[in-house]
Structure 1
Amino acid sequence: MNAHAVWAHPLLLAQVLRPRRDGRSEVALRVDALGNPRQALALEQAIRALPGVQRVAILPAARRLRVVWDAQRLTLDALVERCAALRCPATPLPHDDADDARAAELHDALKRLLVAGMCMMQVMAYALVIYIGAVDFVDFTTRGLFRWLGFLTTIPLVAYSAQPFFAGAVGELRECRLGIHLPVALAVALVFLASAVNTLRGSGEVYFDSVSMFVFLLLAARYVELRARHHGTAQGDAAIDAAPLLAQRRRGDGTLETVPALALRTGDRVHVAEGDTVPADGVLETASARLDEALLTGESRPVLRRRGDALVAGSVLLDGPATLRVERSGKATTVARIGALAARARQSRSFATASDRDIARFVARVLALTALTAIGWLLVDPARAFDAALAVLVVACPCAFALTAPAASIRALAALARRGVLVTDSAALSRLARVDIALFDKTGTLGVPRLDLAAIEPLRSGSREEALALAATLARESSHPLARALADAAGQTAPAQQAERVEAVAGAGLRGTLAGRELRLGRADFALGHAPPIESQHDALLLADADGAIAAFRLDECPRHDAQATLDALRTDGVAPLVASGDAPGRVAALAAVLGIADWRARQTPDDKLALLRQLRADGHVVLAVGDGSNDAPILAGADVSAALASGTGLAQAHADLLLMDDRLAGLAFARGVAGQVQRIVAQGRRWSLAYNLCAVPFAAFGFVPPWLAGIGMSLSSLAVVLNALRAGRDGGEPREELRA
């Protein structure tokens, strides 16, 4: 049977194929060979030559290949087989409905912006003729023609490009709240309708240029902000899901078959090779196995499981192979349930900020002033009521509120991206400036998942250096993380001769012969051949020979190189650190003591962490959650602000507001500084808006400001706000030198 035929299974096709409106299919393939330009070019040309292929897009940085083709003419398994034949093995990736929705949203925003830009340029050209007529003679027929051309060109801009503002205004009215869309929609509609009426009757002022410029500016800010946010979210695409799509199921006759992981049923026996990911929750049937569960449970060290112990989907088998009896698969696995818990936490998260309340009050005042102006002129001179009310609405239109925050956020997002901090939700910056507690995971976040030699205990005669040299001789023959840490700590102190007949015993350790002397290095019971007499030796690597134990090597987790400086910077800025970890109390306490963290919790399940988060928020705290594992996803989704490391799981990254792409915690302190600066710039924009309105609105209300001049004033005010917002990230957010190092 073809090894790639499994990709014709309906369950897998439903996971990886995205049907398109034109009847074709789209798939994303993970191809590691795309890092080689020559192979990438050859692969692209070969795929384009296949029947039914319409489009091929290569994303070298993400090692991704997107193919759009006619599934009736070419099957997915044939496509994967073709890639394998070109020595570019490809693995289809699950299609993400959220990613599809983001792409559609961004595409729609771009189309509206392009239409607005083209219409604005044409309307400005037509308006130039009318402006010339104000200072030089232009016959009325020509002026009338260009007024009509401006009217016709503005129709698609108002009807199509400005549609999001009208839809937003309708939504705000349905929810009985005042937001930024309502005055924008009223200003656009009233200015356009007034200009249209004046065009039809052949007299009066027209302001098609003002309304087109207004819509274009707002759409441009909206599109750039949307693009930055989606780009940040898309950075998690290169991460592979915790649970694999395929599994090796053992048939009744003992042979293996490749099946979709979703097709696994309770009682199935699954073969897991060394280095592979466990595809389902189940029970271990092999004598023993050592697994890496750090990204799922928070356990910092490889975990030894014995026959009958439970294994969770998403953990990585370090010593194999192993046999698993399936108990839960698909959406019933631990990883899937954690993901569902995170989704519920995100849906229940509500952020009603002071900013929203300020905008509502501002909009209410603008509408009230507009109504009062109209009523006043209707009593004095009805002929001037509309123009005066329109001038007030345009002058007082809260463009500072509409443009200050997006412009400052866009500039801040760019500054943060250059520092390796990608923001997936720009609204998180305003919340980050108000954070007063930082809730950290330990393993992989504050502590590096690298084991460092902390102490050596000689248990017989001989120096520490001699014991370390002997252990390193065996350790150099293994790629196990513990052995690597031991070998690195030894440096060049190991004996010149190499150990002979070195054998790695799965889940136990190493044994070999050095100068005729048999040595064992590993778990205490393996090294001694029986249960250790000292309970504490369970946490140590033991080196022994035929005469007994030689030395114990105690390995501890080390803090990240910038963890202390980052925590100090956060404390100085009024943010108190707190650790919640799934690791053992002893290791959590040790790392917390090194970093000076007084408040810590150990053996925390995802539900425990979420309960702690809810208690902190109920006490009035604004919480920043930082983690890297799938077990951190619920608190990342439910926190006021969340940050995940690039080395973390895709599930953690999907629910994080900030991604630390260089795996440096210093990005948190820098982001906090930039967030504070953005908050100050937004406050400055609001103060400017208040001063501008206090000066301009009275003149507009008394009829001294025509709508066209109001439009110019609004544009200049918006320009001043945008230029001020460009300062975000330039100063004030710079990290201290020790954080950069």
Structure 2
Amino acid sequence: MNAAAWAEPRLAAQVLRPRRDGRSDIALRVPALDDPRRVLRLEQALHALPGVRRVAIDVAARRVRVTWDARLTPLPALLDACARQHCPAEPLRRARIDDARDDEMRDALKRLLVAGMCAMQVMSYALAIYLGATEFEDFSTRGLFRWLGFLSIIPVVAYSALPFYRGALHELHARRIGIHLPVALAVLLVFLASAFATLRGRGEIYFDSIGMFVFLLLAARYVELRARHRSGALGESAADAMPLLAQRRRTNGALETVAALELVPGDRVHVPEGAVVPADGVLESAYAALDESLLTGESRPQPRRRGERLLAGSLLLAGPADLRVEAGGDATAAARMEALGAHARAARPVVTPADQRAVARFVAGVLLLTAATALGWLLVDPARAFGAAVAVLVVACPCAFALSRPAALASALGALARQGVLVTDGAALDALARADTALFDKTGTLGVPTLDRGRIRTPRGDAPDAMLRLAAALARESAHPLARALADAARDATPPRAWNVQVGPGGIEGVVDGRRLRLGRAGHALALAGVADPDAADGALWLADVGGALAIFHFDEQPRADAARTLAALRADGLVPAIASGDAAGRVADLAARLDIGDWHARQSPADKLERLRELRARGRTVLVVGDGGNDAPVLAGADVSAALAEGAEAARTHADLLLLDGRLDGLARARAVARRMHRVVDGSRRGALAYNLCAIPFAALGLVPPWLAGVGMSLSSLAVVLNALRTGREARA
């Protein structure tokens, strides 16, 4: 929209967050942040504006956050400055300003910088002593450098290392052993011993070791934190793409500008070419081409024709387009994707229970080795006991071992999000990598139903097209595959609006043109007229009113366009496909034969599907379950790992571990490849960390590795593990 429109106070109030110092915060969506030079020019241009205090640019999320005095530089002037740098910006709702993540990154960076600066300063003092810049007899000068090192390392011990102390206290309070305990012990023991030696004026000091140890470990943690935050960038970018305003068409055909949040199902919206679709809905124009890359990861323009669904957040490349709204605001696919992603990130443990047990065993072993080393040297040469024990404690720290999975997981989640697969449970990727059986629902998952217009029956002699319009009014309120197929069949008509709609397990009920109607299986639909379930044809949908049946709709079914290709990729990767469907045996057998699936089961209730899952597990299988219907929710929840199409029922999406946002099954093959790659990277990193420890611990225990060298080696190994784990995402993009 025109930047001048943001001068309207009521509109600006939606995007500006006032601060107590009189300034304002705003979050801007800037899609053009793909060129480092452009990013630099944008930052310089914004800083040059009067009243601008802070500019923070998040390239991954395509966001810019500005803190400035809006009285000196009005919001339209701020937006014009972005446009002049070829970075057009769209303000985001002020609820999108995320302080928590910014604070977390800022805190981590401050601690890292303090550790780095102090470590360099302490190292300069240590080098003066190590390289003989002071004569051995010059005790006063040596003492001065020791005291300078002591004073310089205090900020590192008291501030930069504070997260490790907090983590250690939390682990002790929880009565479990974790990665923070040995780090905190190493830092404090080495510091206290070195401080004591400084006060005495004799003995070894290791202030430089502490500085390098903490700095390199914080560097590894900072890299892991950035990767974890980057993994949620796609979901946020998709929701950020939602416009604040929309052009709604009145009953007389005139356009009015309204807030996008006010759109309700049934509204007609006009979307100009080059604008962003403000709500999920059905295209009523003949043709449109859209960029859906933020939602699905697909960079190519996607053609859409009348009757097909458009997703909020898509960019209209060829138009204009008229849209009938099906969902707006927080009910859109983009909003649901972000909400699920936020929930998954909040609930996702950094270390899984299995990892925690492995780390606990490793840490317990390290502490025992440290105690044994100290005891052994106390018996042989007490003067060397402390140095050897500290070297063992530091060199064998399990941080590299424990950081491998969180870093690889963060990288994998970001890679999958860019490819249109949202992972709602990070632990599911481990199960996906191990899975050897894929259990599919049929209707809507492997097969796509289509209405057979030639077999529409109207028992009362009504016109089939008229009954189809009535049925489509109810069908478009449901995500069931048969309902979607029926609604698609009426795309050339304009169905009336349904009121007081109730969607249940057996079908849909609502008021259309003043008549109470039911659409669903025969028993559900005819119950409105008090009629018992007849001997109905399998797979048909019945439309009925209080007088009985109005129409019977029959469907054909075709395999999804990418079903055969996806199944071939999964078979090549070691997964055996199977079908468990509630449909009739004939139709299940036909689709299974066309897709070359020998293991299929028909007439499966939700309980039957769960029993089938238990049978497979009893045979030692790890099962991936894929479905899209509400009746698939129990088996999706009980599976080792589960996936659902984003266009499926809400219950299926809620219980699935993976969401295929682009509505294509080949996302399963992509997710499987990334999960296997993550598994290999984590295993390789852990083998490397263990090999390093096995090689270094004997030398440390024999007193051949000074604590400062142990700290450098351990910290560098942690950093190497994190950088190696990030290969998961880079290889997925290749």
- TM-score, structure 1 length as denominator? 0.60
Q: For residues 228-284 of structure 1, what are the alpha-carbon distances to aligned partners after superposition, in whole Å with 9 as ceiling and x for unaligned? A: 3323332445435686532446789997542324456x8x995422679886799x9
**Which residue identity is paired with 1:93?**
L
Report how many aligned residue pairs link the two structures.
Answer: 600
Distance verdict in 2 for CA 1:687–1:8, change over 3 Å: same
Distance verdict in 2 for CA 1:21–1:231, change over 3 Å: farther
* 8 A contact 2:57–2:64 mirrored in 1: yes
* 8 A contact 1:7–1:13 mirrored in 2: yes
* 8 A contact 1:446–1:559 mirrored in 2: no
**Residue of structure 1 equivalent to 2:230:** 231
Q: For residues 8-46 of structure 1, what are the alpha-carbon distances to aligned partners after superposition, in whole Å with 9 as ceiling and x for unaligned? A: 465x55653355686533434456788999999999999
Q: For residues 487-531 of structure 1, what are the alpha-carbon distances to aligned partners after superposition, in whole Å with 9 as ceiling and x for unaligned? A: xxxxxxxxxxxxxxxxxx98359xxxxxxxxxxxxxxxxxxxxxx
Q: For residues 396-445 of structure 1, what are the alpha-carbon distances to aligned partners after superposition, in whole Å with 9 as ceiling and x for unaligned? A: 43354256557877998999999999999988765654445668899999
**Which residue identity is paired with 2:703?**
V
Report whether the alignment pairs 1:216 with 2:219: no
Farther-moved stretch of structure 1 (83-92 vs 200-209): 83-92
**Residue of structure 1 equivalent to 2:636:** 613
**Residue of structure 2 equivalent to 1:119:** 118
Q: Secondary structure at the match of 2:232?
A: helix
Report whether the alignment pairs 1:401 with 2:401: yes
Distance verdict in 2 for CA 1:632–1:200, change over 3 Å: farther
Report whether the alignment pairs 1:712 with 2:697: no
Once residues 582 and 9 of structure 1 are traced to their aligned partners in structure 2, the CA distance between those partners, rounded to angstroms, is: 56
Displacement of 1:367 after TM fit? Answer: 3.0
Q: For residues 557-595 of structure 1, what are the alpha-carbon distances to aligned partners after superposition, in whole Å with 9 as ceiling and x for unaligned? A: 7634xx756644443444455799999999999987665
**Which residue identity is paired with 1:612?**
V
**Residue of structure 2 equivalent to 1:682:** 685
Report whether the alignment pairs 1:507 with 2:504: no
Farther-moved stretch of structure 1 (684-693 vs 207-216): 684-693
Once residues 181 and 688 of structure 1 are traced to their aligned partners in structure 2, the CA distance between those partners, rounded to angstroms, is: 21
Displacement of 1:202 after TM fit? Answer: 0.9
* 8 A contact 1:248–1:272 mirrored in 2: yes
Displacement of 1:210 after TM fit? Answer: 1.4
* 8 A contact 1:569–1:669 mirrored in 2: no
* 8 A contact 1:292–1:315 mirrored in 2: no
Displacement of 1:188 after TM fit? Answer: 0.7
Distance verdict in 2 for CA 1:408–1:315, change over 3 Å: closer
**Residue of structure 2 equivalent to 1:671:** 674
**Residue of structure 1 equivalent to 2:360:** 360
Q: Secondary structure at the match of 2:131?
A: helix
Displacement of 1:128 after TM fit? Answer: 1.8
**Which residue identity is paired with 2:684?**
I
Distance verdict in 2 for CA 1:447–1:79, change over 3 Å: farther
**Residue of structure 2 equivalent to 1:71:** 70
Once residues 229 and 636 of structure 2 are traced to their aligned partners in structure 1, the CA distance between those partners, rounded to angstroms, is: 27
Once residues 248 and 68 of structure 1 are traced to their aligned partners in structure 2, the CA distance between those partners, rounded to angstroms, is: 30
**Residue of structure 1 equivalent to 2:504:** none
Once residues 583 and 314 of structure 1 are traced to their aligned partners in structure 2, the CA distance between those partners, rounded to angstroms, is: 35
Identity of aligned residues (%): 54
Once residues 368 and 344 of structure 1 are traced to their aligned partners in structure 2, the CA distance between those partners, rounded to angstroms, is: 39
Q: For residues 468-498 of structure 1, what are the alpha-carbon distances to aligned partners after superposition, in whole Å with 9 as ceiling and x for unaligned? A: xxxxxxxxxxxxxxxxxxxxxxxxxxxxxxx
* 8 A contact 1:8–1:77 mirrored in 2: no
Q: Secondary structure at the match of 1:507?
A: coil
* 8 A contact 1:373–1:385 mirrored in 2: yes
Q: Secondary structure at the match of 1:190?
A: helix
Once residues 92 and 180 of structure 1 are traced to their aligned partners in structure 2, the CA distance between those partners, rounded to angstroms, is: 42
Once residues 73 and 198 of structure 1 are traced to their aligned partners in structure 2, the CA distance between those partners, rounded to angstroms, is: 58
**Which residue identity is paired with 1:613?**
L
Once residues 432 and 408 of structure 1 are traced to their aligned partners in structure 2, the CA distance between those partners, rounded to angstroms, is: 15
Displacement of 1:183 after TM fit? Answer: 0.8
Displacement of 1:167 after TM fit? Answer: 1.8
Distance verdict in 2 for CA 1:320–1:238, change over 3 Å: closer
**Residue of structure 2 equivalent to 1:571:** 571
* 8 A contact 2:278–2:312 mirrored in 1: yes
Q: Secondary structure at the match of 2:168?
A: helix
Alignment of 1:65-464 (within 5 A): 67-76=66-75, 91-94=90-93, 97=96, 99-133=98-132, 137=136, 139-240=138-239, 244-248=243-247, 257-262=256-261, 270-273=267-270, 321=322, 330=329, 352-371=352-371, 389-402=389-402, 433-436=433-436
Displacement of 1:395 after TM fit? Answer: 4.4
* 8 A contact 1:277–1:315 mirrored in 2: yes
Unmatched 5+ stretches in structure 1: 452-456, 458-504, 510-534, 540-553, 650-659
**Residue of structure 2 equivalent to 1:559:** 561
Distance verdict in 2 for CA 1:405–1:316, change over 3 Å: closer
Distance verdict in 2 for CA 1:716–1:331, change over 3 Å: closer
Q: Secondary structure at the match of 1:559?
A: coil
Alignment of 1:493-642 (within 5 A): 507-508=492-493, 559-560=561-562, 567-576=567-576, 596=596, 608=631, 610-616=633-639, 621=640, 623=641, 625=643, 627=645, 629=646, 642=658
* 8 A contact 1:198–1:205 mirrored in 2: yes
Farther-moved stretch of structure 1 (150-159 vs 60-69): 60-69
Distance verdict in 2 for CA 1:596–1:367, change over 3 Å: same
**Residue of structure 2 equivalent to 1:499:** none
Displacement of 1:169 after TM fit? Answer: 1.4
Displacement of 1:207 after TM fit? Answer: 0.8
Once residues 249 and 420 of structure 2 are traced to their aligned partners in structure 1, the CA distance between those partners, rounded to angstroms, is: 45
Distance verdict in 2 for CA 1:42–1:419, change over 3 Å: closer
Q: For residues 156-192 of structure 1, what are the alpha-carbon distances to aligned partners after superposition, in whole Å with 9 as ceiling and x for unaligned? A: 1122221221122122223222110111111111111
Once residues 108 and 643 of structure 1 are traced to their aligned partners in structure 2, the CA distance between those partners, rounded to angstroms, is: 33
Once residues 679 and 152 of structure 2 are traced to their aligned partners in structure 1, the CA distance between those partners, rounded to angstroms, is: 43
Alignment of 1:634-653 (within 5 A): 642=658
**Which residue identity is paired with 2:156?**
L
Once residues 337 and 727 of structure 2 are traced to their aligned partners in structure 1, the CA distance between those partners, rounded to angstroms, is: 39
Once residues 631 and 491 of structure 2 are traced to their aligned partners in structure 1, the CA distance between those partners, rounded to angstroms, is: 33
Once residues 585 and 94 of structure 2 are traced to their aligned partners in structure 1, the CA distance between those partners, rounded to angstroms, is: 40
Q: For residues 315-360 of structure 1, what are the alpha-carbon distances to aligned partners after superposition, in whole Å with 9 as ceiling and x for unaligned? A: 9999975787x9x975578986786677667766667332210111
**Residue of structure 2 equivalent to 1:482:** none
* 8 A contact 1:580–1:609 mirrored in 2: no
Distance verdict in 2 for CA 1:406–1:320, change over 3 Å: closer
Q: Secondary structure at the match of 2:113?
A: helix
Farther-moved stretch of structure 1 (433-442 vs 162-171): 433-442
Once residues 35 and 205 of structure 2 are traced to their aligned partners in structure 1, the CA distance between those partners, rounded to angstroms, is: 59
Alignment of 1:26-41 (within 5 A): 26-30=25-29
* 8 A contact 2:394–2:714 mirrored in 1: no
* 8 A contact 1:6–1:259 mirrored in 2: no
Q: Secondary structure at the match of 2:26?
A: strand
Once residues 316 and 584 of structure 1 are traced to their aligned partners in structure 2, the CA distance between those partners, rounded to angstroms, is: 41
* 8 A contact 2:235–2:341 mirrored in 1: no
Once residues 634 and 203 of structure 2 are traced to their aligned partners in structure 1, the CA distance between those partners, rounded to angstroms, is: 64
Displacement of 1:292 after TM fit? Answer: 12
Distance verdict in 2 for CA 1:393–1:441, change over 3 Å: same
**Which residue identity is paired with 2:698?**
C
Q: For residues 630-650 of structure 1, what are the alpha-carbon distances to aligned partners after superposition, in whole Å with 9 as ceiling and x for unaligned? A: 65898778655x4756x689x
- TM-score, structure 2 length as denominator? 0.60
Displacement of 1:208 after TM fit? Answer: 1.0
* 8 A contact 2:359–2:402 mirrored in 1: no
